[in-house]
Structure 1
Amino acid sequence: MNESTTATDMAGGMASPGDYIALLKPRVMSLVVFTALVGLVRAPDHVHPVIAFTAILCIAVGAGAAGALNMWWDADIDAIMSRTRRRPIPSGRVTPREALAFGLTLSGFSVVVLGLLVNVLSAALLAFTIFFYVVIYTMWLKRSTPQNIVIGGAAGAFPPMVAWAAASGSVSLESLLLVAIIFFWTPPHFWALALYRADDYARAGVPMLPVTAGANETRRQILLYTLFLVPLAFSPVLLGYAGIAYGVVSAVTGLGMVWLAISVYRTRTGEAAVKAARRLFGFSILYLFLLFATLLVEAFIPGI
């Protein structure tokens, strides 16, 4: 964040409810809610539906709060990047101060309510998740290291563990495995995006891997992370945490991930390279969704 935000503050916002919803990063929030729901239902202890709803609501609000605080801090670079310049703050519809107050209020609400109505462990984990995303990733890593996505990806991986703790009052190996799958999925997912948005990141001064190490090294890292991710994602079957259906889905979609990562690695020039990166980015979303959707179905229909 820099001095340019002061002018925006003085100008005042013309915000609509939709602008405040946009501050919550609803697409990211939907992924957080979905993975948290899987963590909740896979936990060994069943909770009352009202408590379960409260936990998911607080996790969703906490994720949205982190998104708002991320947009507050990144308003200067969001104004430069074509992908983000229409967001509420750089477009002038919401002032930075309004976004900051909104994010802090929702953060406090989500953590306090989760702690009072569910349990302290889940509230502490949610508070740490918000802190990690806003302070460790947004304020520090994002602008200082090309490993920003690798380390910062932990924040997006924590929600299943938070929900697991909300249901059981503890953290287990299975919940950590869910975290690990999302954590190792994040670099190939975002680096695929960064490959065809590298000019945007370079213009904003964000040291994403394609900017600092070049596209070819990024392609190599995408392939390496994918080759580690796919066996990791299959491991719940080997450890007895998932059934046959998950094993089939994980194997088939994992092969798709590897094939697309190889395509990105081998296709290095022209529009074909852009298309390869776009295909991997799009498929990676489907891949993670199918993995967690199958775990969700297996929780309700054991033995499939």
Structure 2
Amino acid sequence: MSSAPIAAAHARTLDLARRVLAIEAEAVQALADQLDDTFVKAVDLILASHGRVIVSGVGKSGHIGRKFAATLASTGTPAYFVHAAEAAHGDLGMITANDVLVAISYSGTGEELLKIVPLVKRQGARLIAITGNPDSPLAREADVHLNGMVKEEACPLNLAPTASTTAALALSDALAVALLDARGFGPDDFARSHPGGALGRRLLTHVEDVMRSGAGVPQVREDAPLGDALMEMTRAGLGMTAIVDTNDRIVGIYTDGDLRRSLASGCNFSTARVADVMSRGPKTIHAGALAVEAAEMMERLRISQLLVAAPDGHLVGALNHHDLMLAKVI
């Protein structure tokens, strides 16, 4: 096969892909342009609810609904997904009078959803419908209708749900983010909902969770020979040792950098005391601080180690840059 037909096929593929993206982008932009007080009413309806948000749909709308429910649940709005067909066979019992049902159907005529709507409303639950047809039966039954109509599908046949599902996804994301903002949901809340993620590690990991403690903390008395300090640094492998007084309060630190300066100054390692060459008044952090605070302090001060001190100055731990990396804080 010659290169010309292959090149033409590739060009057609790229043109089609660009057309799909353009159509879907236009569909989302059209939604942004037509947003009005109806959207605010939907947000207020959910905020006023004392129950949960139940999202329902079938087919591709059901897939969008599952993602919407998951986004709500992870951003401060208790929610779950119920398949419309399953709702008619027992799952309807999950819905209470205090709940809000969000029904997603582009046509607004889906038999499965329309079958459960009267039962849900009879229980006293409120209904938000997301459809592409404001005159559909589902839209007419809704307490609030959000119009997700698109001019055309991105499918060349104008049949497969493409732009319409993108529009429904974007509209549901907008609703979830508006609720997040209204509830004052912040990074700490998000971390508690995502303890296994990177943000959770950054916001829920404390210095005491990653620091060396007990015998793992290198330390010598301030009257110790410099050789003892070097041996302690080697033993612990932290690139430093804490210098403490007779009450175990931190008075200084001796690091790899101090060692290089000692060498450059011609220090007599056989006779020197660590108190003569240590860095006094080292920066410390408390065990209850967030590990990310330790990382920020190290970066700002351009240091690789930190001593962990109790409020009265007692040495309780130590950590270095590598400890934070192992904990995936940085």
TM range, normalised to the smaller chain? under 0.3
Structure having the higher strand fraction is 2
Structure having the higher Rg: 2
Structure having the higher helix fraction is 1
Q: Report the TM-score, using the length of structure 2 for normalisation.
A: 0.23
Q: Report the TM-score, using the length of structure 1 for normalisation.
A: 0.24
Higher RCO (CA < 8 A, seq sep 6+): 1
